[in-house]
Structure 1
Amino acid sequence: MKGIPALAVIGIADGLIHWQIFFVLCSAVGLKQAASNFAAFCVAATFSFYVNALYTFEARTSVSAYLLFICLMGGLSFGVGSFADAHNLPGLVTVAVFSALNLSLGYGFFRFVLFRERLV
């Protein structure tokens, strides 16, 4: 499983993981959207990072690069959730907007920063 098909399958799994955790944390646990979005992102991103490193890019990367990714994109996930909390937006808007940002920015970060030695 390589290239675009691998990225698509992993991206869909990442999105499903993120959305499920987000809605469980918001609905069942009662967390705010900012905290729920951040926690869901961290779990889904860890899954994506590991699977992409293992199957898609077949490359190693540093822990510091991974932590940079988590900090930057995690901050963005928290920011999107905070904006939604402040404006009383529905959770569906929060995860949809962040998923679109994560898809484009996350892919670029994975391909051109984390795994730049072995391009697909």
Structure 2
Amino acid sequence: MDKRWLSFELHKRKILTLILLLAFMLSLFSVEWNSNLIHSGGFKTAKQIAAAFFTPDLSGDILLLALESSWTTLSYAAAGMSLAIIIAFFYGILAAGIVVSEGKIKRYIRPFLEDSLAS
């Protein structure tokens, strides 16, 4: 008879899953399940959102707000990518080992390189 189903090995991932499931179950018992739990105007609001989806407001104010918001989003994206490219450029030079192939400075740089290669 195969008794492999009796053995249960707990790995870190399984322990974390059990802890999270237990926390979820405890949170369900702490909720006061009554009629006030769900907002009574929720269906009305969902209906308004669905109606606005099929008949959008294309007034000048809304379009101007959408344009300004899109420009802000693109500005943040460009700034973030520029910063990431600059940081990656310098880390790439250090990781290549060309600049610090010998000498005392390699002793200080090596721990940072080993940490980034391990992950």
TM-score band, normalised by shorter chain: under 0.3
**TM-score, with structure 1 as normaliser:** 0.27
**TM-score, with structure 2 as normaliser:** 0.27
- Relative contact order, higher structure (CA 8 A, sep 6+): 1
- Higher helix proportion (structure 1 or 2): 1
